Amino acid sequence: MAWIRDWRGGRRLVLATVAAGLAGVGLGAWAVQPSRAGGADAPSKDRAVSDKVWVTADELRDRFTPEQSHGFMRRAIANSRKAGVEKRTGGAFGAVIVDGSGEIVGEGSNHVVANHDPTWHGEMEAIRNACGKLKVLKLDGCVLYTSSEPCPMCLATAYWAGLDGIVYGATVADSKAYGGFDDDFIYEQFATPIAERKIPELNLLRDEAVDVWKEYAALKDNVAY
């Protein structure tokens, strides 16, 4: 199998930066949000995603035979063709989720244009379908095969879903050259201080919002994810 460069090469970011960038737009006291940090009395709870035992690139590479991996990738590519060329539902992006036994448990293709939904990426649909089929919130033991390197949203979702790894076909340079898709700007925004980002973020009614979180924290049946 032709394994090309370290995943995301020089474009890799610390996950904490990506997570902070995707944490959502704050609407605080009509003042620029100074920090994502909680107050001094905020309880410290590690997110469940941090407890995952991550696999190495070598372990990911050796999980399936080359023939198996080629088959999974060709299925993802077929889904990309369906989206971008045949049904014209969106860009030429497709994906599949494969469990540890080598079974495809989720598939997806891009439907951004057809459904007027900027979040309907192939990877997002595949992850939703896999979680729905398996009735789980985490896809531990599963691998995402995607026809192109994932965008920042899909990358963050892969972490939230606890996937073991990502295998991609076309690079971000390819999707930019032939489709005009360029997510470099978004990564640059993640690395930019909040007050300097292009989309302004304000903080509004924090105390009232935190009151709900305190009620939530007091519940005994919360599901960590």
**Distance, CA of 3 to CA of 124 (rounded, Å):** 24
**Token pair of 106 as six digits:** 């989720």
Selection from 94, 101, 111, 84 nearest residue 167 by Cα: 94
Q: DSSP secondary-structure letter at 41?
A: T
Tokens coding 157: 């979702």
The whole-angstrom separation of Cα 174 and Cα 178 is: 6
Of 123, 125, 201, 208, the catalytic one is: 123
Please name the amino acid found at residue 191: A
Contacts of 120 by beta carbon, 8 Å cutoff, 6+ apart:
90, 110, 111, 112
123 in active site: yes
> What amino acid positions are annotated as catalytic residues?
123
